[in-house]
A and B are shown apart, each in its own frame.
Chain A
Amino acid sequence: MSQSQLDLQRLLIYTLSPAALLLLWEVLARSGVIDARFFPAPSSIFYHLLFVSPGEGIFTDILYSVYRISVGYVIGCVFGVTLGIAMGLSRVARLILYPVIIATYPIPKIAILPLIMLIFGIGEMSKIVVVAIGCFFLVLINTLHGVDSLEKIYRDVAAVYKITKRSFIFSIAFPRALPSIFTGLKLAIGYSLVIVVAAEFSGANKGIGYLIWQSWETFSIKSMYAGIFVIGLLGFLFSYSLDLLERRLIPWLEKR
């Protein structure tokens, strides 16, 4: 089978378990085993999502959330990879930055949202910044781990063949760290959804988080579920795209 056929096959298999879960839910809701006021049948949620939510402006909400995630994610990841590689290769950089990183990493990013809103205002920038900070740590720590796992033999080979510093960074350290970097990228994309929704609960008037919060205030359960479904769908799409990208960029790893 060709690579694209394999990808398609994988996508089909990936949709099986979520579909089974939804089917079970549907049966339980329709038979009255679970309370349909709190757990409305998936079919009615999809109906709501397709025919009611667009009128309530769900596409604008999605657009805003995706915009905040993408910009924040890219900024956070670029900084994370760059600093991770710098810290992995330079002893000085590591000695200076590592204590700061491990001290600030455990602080819940949402806890500093009010501070960020004071500094960057209540507009788009504060959401982008909080997403970027969240992604930054995950990508940095995984990148550092990847550079650290560079085997001694490659340093020896580089020394024997007088590999230039530049070649060492871009052709040895970076590719060696790439599998770990992707672990960080995948963790970060999920986490950025968590952060953006939390940030939109309080400080926004558009976005999926805002939609869910507002639906709670108006007791519009189906709109709330519509928002939750969209988050799940986005998470699935983002992670799946990263999986595809990973397989394209790291052809040298033995296939799992």
Chain B
Amino acid sequence: MKSKTTGKELILAGLGCLLGSFLFLFAIQFYTDSQNIIGEQETSGSFSTLNKKVEGGLLENLSTNNKTFTQNEILEIQQMEGVEDIGSFSRNHFPVTVHVWPTGKIGLGAAARADLFFESIPNRFLDQIPEEWAWEENDPIVPIMVPKFYLDLWNFGLAPSRQEYPALSLESASSMPVEIFIGEDRSQRLVGRFVAFSKRINSVLVPPKFLQWANAQFAEERNEKYFFLWEGDEINNQPVSLTELKNLPESTLDGLVVSPLGDPANQIVFKNLSLNESDRQQAARLIIKIKDSYAQNFSEKIDLLGYETNREMPEQDWVQQAINMMVWGVASFGGLLSILSIATFTSSFKLMIAQSSSTSLNLLHLGFSQSQICWIFFQRFSKLFILIWAASLLLCHVAQKFVHKKISVYGFEITQGLSWETYTVASFFAIIYMAVNYWVIYRSLSPLCLSQDN
């Protein structure tokens, strides 16, 4: 059962099979590795922030200020299908201005200055909680967490356009001092530091404990304690304190419209004022963890309720889609090559069987069955295939090591060695490939076995 002329076809088919199985298996390995990396970056489930829509013109919004969620509304959202967890954003009630010192020292070089806001969310919604995140009263440094893309904006937007702002690595950005000025007159000064760069939350976050403390300390009650009274379309120039307003006779309160001292355009019906006061403690933005499979459904339902959602870190989806497309592409190409290699093997077997037809017939006449003769050819194929299969797994292993080396530079870690998924797929691939080829050999022998001698 030897044939020299089929050698070239066998080598060609073998190479096709090697490349095809390698690409196919490496696609599986790459997929499992990338899923592990994404899994580490993002816990299971999707995160969305939720707020009420702001609609209508300026005049309509002047008289209403009810954009916070009531307890009933929060409860309703919590009970929706797919919602795993819900938390509210707290915000600062005082003006904040920050000076960021990219040189690493306050007073040295130019500072980037910005009016800012702070928010806080329960720690369980954070994608990372560094040690420095724990804040206690009198701690000298206020930990701040900003989105990772802020750093990217700095490095690729701001820094190239301003000579005084250097590009920053994660480490150098973490060591920058941040002066925090509180109040319109910036009378209070604290020092903060960026302790983490979130890949999930698009907000400037501080620890909830700090925000609670700071709101208690610095919340500017002045603007909300004194109000302008509206008489028709005009403001009465003399501000009135809340206490004075509350002491007015009940009959005069009906239809009374006021506006805060610091925000004279914000018309509020006085009877709603107390409600608005308590609203200040309620959340205007919610963060929600939704099961992945319900994310789309949830988004549609929320839209019907008249709320707005923002998927946090939607680029995760993008990455996932890109990975899926790449994996499908590589796996399909590998699969196609494998199928083509089967076709090459088929022609090779047919040639081999044709060339050894007298030997095959001799065996047949000695009492060998078609299966037994098929097995003789198949054993030869099996030896070649097992060699190819082992080589493709070895190539996968080498390729994975190469990828690991490349991506470890960016701080990603993947488990060394091939995953069980790859081994499982490789085993199924081997079984199917061998079964198909056994069938091909058997079919190639059929005409010989049926024709008899003549």
Q: Answer whether A and B are interacting partners.
A: no
Which residues of A come within 8 Å of B, CB atoms?
Answer: none
Which residues of B come within 8 Å of A, CB atoms?
Answer: none
